[in-house]
Amino acid sequence: GQQLNQSPQSMFIQEGEDVSMNCTSSSIFNTWLWYKQDPGEGPVLLIALYKAGELTSNGRLTAQFGITRKDSFLNISASIPSDVGIYFCAGQRGRLYFGRGTQLTVWP
Amino acid sequence: SAVISQKPSRDICQRGTSLTIQCQVDSQVTMMFWYRQQPGQSLTLIATANQGSEATYESGFVIDKFPISRPNLTFSTLTVSNMSPEDSSIYLCSVEGDIYGYTFGSGTRLTVV
């Protein structure tokens, strides 16, 4: 299957700090999606990106669809304790392909 | 976006038995997807279920082990058959939204002992 390389694998940050994570692939995708998964829950969509170069914000979250269509990044500004969770990138080409996730821990 | 109800939310099962997971959507959808998430891992697509046709399975997953039903446009079931401890995972159903990406159920946490 398609490989999505998501990094970093985990992050430990202080409340108020900014966070950046990214996903790269050797394949082109039509859509990039970013999800957050809390313990015991299914993934919840944060941001969807549909066009190469697109930059989209959702509150403190900003994501971009890479110009080559092979990568995407997600930034979280001024992190808060409830940002804790696992963040997954997903590329869509017919079906979804998921990255391995970034485990975010926020210290108060 | 669609609201998905998935049952059971968790179960502990004896090896060799089978468990059927139900997924109910609050709107009609063409395709429903079943995923497996092994402990600490990402999501792996098991199969895609269209109403009125056989499910399409991904490489490494077979119908005898993971039979799927899709009797109508709002409901699907996934059965995990003849379970072994290696089947301990979170199983998730998902549907494609009209605009906002894919929506997931809250998952079924399965432990096989």
Let me know: does A36 contact A93? Beta carbons within 8 Å.
Answer: no
Q: Say how many C-beta atoms besides its own lie within 10 A of residue A67's C-beta.
A: 10
What is the structure's pLDDT at B23?
Answer: 97
Distance CA A32, CA B81 (A): 34
Q: Which of A94, A74, A90, A107 is nearest to A4 (CA)?
A: A90
pLDDT tens-digit readout, A35-89: 999 988 999 999 999 999 999 999 999 999 999 999 999 999 999 999 999 999 9
pLDDT band at B51 (very low <50, low <70, confident <90, very high): confident
pLDDT band at A91 (very low <50, low <70, confident <90, very high): very high
pLDDT band at B100 (very low <50, low <70, confident <90, very high): low
- C-alpha distance from residue B42 to each of A36, B76, B99, B100 (Å): 12, 22, 24, 21
User: One-letter amino acid identity for B97?
Assistant: G
Query: Which chain A residues touch B6 with a CB distance below 8 Å?
Result: 42
Q: Which of B61, B25, B42 is nearest to A89 (CA)?
A: B42
Let me know: does A91 contact A4? Beta carbons within 8 Å.
Answer: yes
Let me know: does A87 contact A79? Beta carbons within 8 Å.
Answer: no
> Does pLDDT of A2 surpass 70?
no
Across the interface, whether the CB atoms of A43 and B105 are under 8 A apart is answered no
Interchain CB contact of A20 with B (< 8 Å): no
Distance CA A64, CA B91 (A): 29
Peptide bond into B67 cis (omega under 30): no
> Does pLDDT of B105 surpass 60?
yes
Distance CA B84, CA B66 (A): 13
pLDDT tens-digit readout, A4-40: 999 999 999 999 999 999 999 999 999 999 999 998 8
Interchain CB contact of B107 with A (< 8 Å): yes
Nearest residue, CB atoms, B104 vs list A1, A42, A48 = A42
- The whole-angstrom distance between B16's CA and the closest CA on chain A is 25
Burial of A108 (0-12, 13-18, 19+ CB in 10 A): exposed
pLDDT band at A3 (very low <50, low <70, confident <90, very high): confident
What is the structure's pLDDT at B53?
Answer: 84
Let me know: does B22 contact B38? Beta carbons within 8 Å.
Answer: no
Counting one residue from chain A and one from chain B, the pairs whose CB atoms sit within 8 A come to 52
Distance CA B2, CA B95 (A): 8
Nearest residue, CB atoms, B42 vs list A31, A92, A98 = A98
Q: How are strands ordered across the β-sheet holding B4-7?
A: B4-7, B19-25, B75-80, B68-72
Average pLDDT for chain B: 94
Interchain CB contact of A26 with B (< 8 Å): no
